[in-house]
Structures are given as C-alpha cells and as structure tokens.
C-alpha cells in the first residue's frame, strides 16, 4: 500500500484526500448474531478489518501528507457507536474504536497540517450492507423482514439518510470549506442520533 501511494504521489504531485470505506459482508462478520452465540474470532473480525484497514490507510497517507504539510483524512463509522442496537457487538465496537482513533490521529497529525475527521453514517437502505443486515436481524428476532429496519431507521427527518448525503459530507470535510474542522465525528444520519 505504501508503494502504491508513493506512485500516486509521483503521478499526482501530491495527495490531498484519503477516504476508506472498506468493510466486511454482514453475514461473514457476525452481524445480527446474539453475543451469547458469537465466536471470539467473529467478534474480532470487524475490529481487525475495519480498524486495521483504517489505521493502515491513514498511516500511509499521513506519511506523505506530512511532507507536503497538508491533507484531509476522512474515516467512516456507523451510528451503531452512538446508539443501542442489539446483536451487533463486533461492528459496534469497531465503530467506537475508529472514532476514538480518529481523535488521536487528529491530535497527532493536526500540527502537520493534516485534518482527520470521521463520518458517522446512518443506515443507508440502498446499500447491500444494510439490506443484508436487516434480513439477518429479522431472522435473529423471528420477525418479518423490514420490521427491525422500521425501528432502527427512525429519524428526525422522517426518512433514512442516503448515499448522496454521506458522500456530500465526506466531500465537505475534505474541502477547504472545512479547514477549521478537525478531530470531529460528524453524524450523517438524518437525525437518527441527536446531540
């Protein structure tokens, strides 16, 4: 990865923005699995994959951004970390860890001109991840598909957040318009969480 980013730097003469949306498939990562039945390695999977890859991509980017004294790193989590959704122990822990890591990286890299922020996205119904998770959740609860989704997607705006909403916030955090924003976890959830 470091070598690949090095090539990017040579080709582009700079690296300004890094965003990482890597995540596991819900069924493979123990989503909607009761904690009493969740194997330890499956619990650790979202932590290893999501926290690990967010760290690696941020580290690789920071090494290069520090040399040019500018850059924006945007991490990604889900509203699980601020809510109380059952059967999601691993991914919820991973989201909390990424948010905490974001604050630490922001403090470490800020003096070098690198802003690190996190987008905490609500469940976007058009994504395969949410569709698969809701199906798994319905199976775990023994309810009809969609029933858990209707509850977990209750929002101030009366609608779920969508992909374009999330992407627009990432673009804003990456832009110079957000030059005064660092170390923040930004809720993009149509008001599913209110603070």
Partner 1 sequence: MNLDGKTAVVFGATGAIGSTVSRRLAAEGARVLSRDDIETNLSGSLAIAVAAGRWWTPQTRRRWTAGSKT
Q: Which positions touch partner 1 (CB under 8 A)?
A: 1-5, 8, 12, 14-25, 27-29, 41-42, 45, 48-49, 52-53, 56-57, 61, 76, 121, 124, 126-129, 163-164, 166-168, 170-172, 174-177
Asked whether the beta carbons of 156 and 169 are under 8 A apart, the reply is no
Burial bucket for residue 131 (CB in 10 Å: 0-12, 13-18, 19+):
middle
Q: Least CB distance from residue 141 to partner 1, whole Å?
A: 22
C-beta of 69 vs 143, nearer to partner 1: 69
Q: Least CB distance from residue 66 to partner 1, whole Å?
A: 16
Q: Least CB distance from residue 98 to partner 1, whole Å?
A: 13
- C-alpha distances out from residue 192 to 1, 56, 147, Å: 35, 30, 17
C-beta of 35 vs 147, nearer to partner 1: 35
Q: Least CB distance from residue 59 to partner 1, whole Å?
A: 10
C-beta of 112 vs 171, nearer to partner 1: 171
C-beta of 4 vs 84, nearer to partner 1: 4
* H runs (alpha helix) in 32-88: 40-46, 52-68
Cα separation, 112 vs 116, whole angstroms? 11
C-beta of 84 vs 135, nearer to partner 1: 135
Nearest one of 34, 30, 59, 60 to 45, comparing CA atoms: 30
C-beta of 46 vs 82, nearer to partner 1: 46
Reduced to 3 states (helix: H, G, I; strand: E, B; else coil), residue 72 is strand
Q: Least CB distance from residue 115 to partner 1, whole Å?
A: 13
For tokens 């929002």, name the residue: 155
Q: Least CB distance from residue 47 to partner 1, whole Å?
A: 12
CA angle 47, 52, 56 (to 5 degrees): 165
């Amino acid at each position: 990865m470091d070598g690949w980013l090095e090539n990017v730097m040579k080709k582009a003469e700079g690296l300004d923005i890094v965003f990482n949306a890597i995540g596991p498939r819900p069924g493979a990562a123990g989503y909607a699995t009761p904690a009493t039945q969740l194997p330890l390695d499956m619990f650790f999977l979202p932590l290893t994959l999501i926290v690990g890859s967010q760290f690696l991509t941020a580290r690789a980017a920071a090494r290069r951004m520090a040399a040019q004294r500018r850059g924006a790193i945007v991490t990604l989590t889900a509203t699980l970390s601020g809510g109380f959704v059952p059967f999601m122990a691993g991914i919820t822990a991973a989201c909390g860890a990424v948010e905490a890591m974001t604050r630490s990286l922001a403090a470490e890299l800020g003096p070098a001109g690198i802003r690190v922020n996190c987008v905490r996205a609500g469940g976007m119904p058009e994504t395969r991840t949410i569709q698969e998770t809701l199906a798994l959740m319905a199976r775990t609860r023994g309810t009809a598909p969609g029933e858990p989704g209707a509850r977990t997607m209750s929002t101030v705006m009366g609608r779920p957040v969508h992909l374009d909403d999330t992407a627009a916030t990432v673009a804003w955090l990456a832009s110079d318009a957000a030059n005064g924003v660092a170390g923040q976890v930004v809720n993009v959830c149509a008001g599913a969480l209110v603070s």
